[in-house]
């Protein structure tokens, strides 16, 4: 997969919350009908009644060493370090428990059921490093869950419960059809309070918040807070258009700028996790950078668009196919590449071993060639 050489920054806060276990009021189960329910004049009450049984609350625990040290002095990878780092929440010292008992950290988040058999989608940062994961259904039932697989690159995870009976579930929508200004509804577990519904609109699409190489977030003004992490963002028909993942906030609370992973991204990732517990992504073997106006003028192209190849690693799919430093990639399989982010995402969504057609400019002249992609997962860490 193509890469850009930019520092990893986190201007947004992920939404999971560190706190003790919180009681959640039981809700009467409502079975999901087969039809899509449009929003009526009474608001979103009917929609919420239909989809709420598929929204679950997730409690995780992680045993930690009784160090008594300042968390800032702990090594990278300390349990729930990711929560603390992304939220800006200092982790407390961990005194030893009585009679040598090992202390635990607790966290809460949200998820949603996507199959009657108990497959549940949430964020990777909600369950990452957890020793135990407990799912609380809308009727108050608590079930132990197993982590089937996780993908840190998109912050998605698939967990599974066995209820002994069919569960209410929700369906994916194609978030590629979203429009700015469209109504959306978020359901989640903010601050461990339990079932909470908020509504808003799609504020923007295709947001890059510098959280990773595949940023393509839906931005919404529906109020979402810590603990909403991993919860669904619904359209007016009650289909999932996104997974609430991050907020931008100077205070840690909602200021009306939230971000959700689009459903069309999540569907492919979750399908891979369900099938093999991991995600394999295509890989080119190039370093890329934006085409600035100065670069466009220097290499003789009209518009500053595309992805400029700044380096090609030897013995990689790109090198074997004949791509060279200075080439400007303009399309992959006919899909236009406006920026390096587009190229990264298009290559990553293709499967290793797939042949893709790359359109590019070399010395101002259009060229097309076929590249057989490698596997990003096989790269050294």
pLDDT in tens, 240-282: 999 999 988 887 788 889 999 999 999 989 999 999 898 989 9
| d(C-alpha 192, C-alpha 243), whole Å | 18
| pLDDT of 315 over the 70 cut | yes
Q: Which listed residue (229, 249, 254, 339) is catalytic?
A: 229
**What burial class does residue 192 get, using C-beta atoms within 10 Å of its C-beta: 0-12 exposed, 13-18 middle, 19+ buried?**
buried
Q: Which listed residue (119, 155, 272, 342) is catalytic?
A: 155
pLDDT classification of 303: cutoffs 50, 70, 90: confident
Q: What confidence score (pLDDT) does residue 39 get?
A: 46
Q: Which listed residue (125, 138, 211, 221) is catalytic?
A: 125
- List pLDDT tens digits, range 47-64: 999 999 999 999 999 877
Q: Is 125 part of the annotated catalytic residue set?
A: yes
Domain boundaries, the chain: 1-279, 282-378
Q: Is 165 part of the annotated catalytic residue set?
A: no
**DSSP line for 199-261:** EEEEEEEEE--SSSTT--EEEE-S---TT-TT-EEE-TTS-EEEEEEEE--SSSS--S-EEEE
| d(C-alpha 111, C-alpha 244), whole Å | 10
**What does the block give as tokens for 224?**
């979402």
CATH of domain 282-378: 2.30.42.10
Q: What confidence score (pLDDT) does residue 13 get?
A: 59
- List pLDDT tens digits, range 170-213: 999 975 689 999 999 999 998 888 889 999 999 999 898 878 77
- List pLDDT tens digits, range 271-300: 999 998 989 899 999 999 999 999 998 888
More confident residue, 381 or 306: 306
| pTM over 0.85, yes/no | no
| d(C-alpha 121, C-alpha 230), whole Å | 7
Q: Is 155 part of the annotated catalytic residue set?
A: yes
Q: What confidence score (pLDDT) does residue 244 get?
A: 96
Residue 151: closest CA among 275, 43, 67: 275
CATH of domain 1-279: 2.40.10.120
Q: Which residues pair with 207 in a beta bridge?
A: 217
Residue 132: closest CA among 94, 193, 79: 79
More confident residue, 365 or 96: 365
């Amino acid at each position: 997969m193509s890469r850009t050489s930019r520092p990893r920054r986190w201007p947004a806060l992920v939404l999971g919350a560190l706190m003790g276990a919180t009681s959640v009021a039981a809700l009467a189960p409502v079975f999901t009908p087969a039809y899509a329910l449009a929003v009526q004049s009474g608001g979103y009450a009917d929609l919420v009644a239909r989809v709420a049984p598929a929204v679950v609350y997730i409690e995780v625990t992680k045993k930690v060493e009784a160090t008594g040290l300042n968390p800032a002095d702990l090594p990278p990878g300390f349990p729930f370090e990711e929560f603390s780092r992304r939220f800006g929440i200092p982790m407390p010292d961990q005194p030893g428990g009585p009679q040598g008992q090992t202390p635990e950290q607790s966290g809460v988040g949200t998820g949603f059921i996507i199959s009657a058999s108990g497959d549940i989608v949430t964020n990777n940062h909600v369950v990452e490093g957890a020793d135990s994961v407990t799912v609380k259904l809308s009727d108050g039932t608590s079930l132990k869950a197993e982590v089937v697989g996780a993908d840190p690159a998109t912050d998605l995870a698939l967990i599974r419960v066995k209820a002994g009976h069919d569960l209410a579930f929700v369906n994916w929508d194609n978030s590629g059809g979203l429009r700015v200004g469209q109504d959306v509804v978020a359901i989640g577990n903010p601050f461990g309070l339990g079932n909470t519904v908020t509504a808003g609109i799609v504020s923007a699409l295709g947001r890059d918040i510098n959280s990773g190489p595949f940023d393509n977030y839906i931005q919404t003004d529906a109020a979402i807070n810590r603990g909403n992490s991993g919860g669904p963002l619904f359209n007016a028909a009650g289909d999932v258009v996104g997974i609430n993942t991050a907020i931008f906030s100077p205070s840690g609370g909602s200021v009306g700028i939230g971000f959700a992973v689009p459903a069309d991204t999540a569907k492919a990732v979750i399908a891979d996790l369900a099938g093999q517990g991991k995600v394999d992504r295509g890989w080119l073997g190039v370093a890329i950078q934006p085409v600035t106006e100065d670069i466009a003028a220097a290499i003789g192209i009209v518009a500053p668009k595309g992805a400029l190849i700044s380096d090609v690693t030897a013995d990689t799919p790109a090198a074997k196919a004949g791509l060279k430093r200075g080439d400007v990639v303009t399309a992959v399989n006919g899909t236009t590449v406006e920026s390096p982010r587009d190229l990264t995402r298009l290559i990553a969504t293709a499967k290793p071993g797939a042949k893709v057609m790359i359109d590019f400019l070399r010395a101002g002249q259009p060229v097309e060639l076929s590249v057989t992609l490698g596997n990003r997962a096989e790269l050294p860490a």
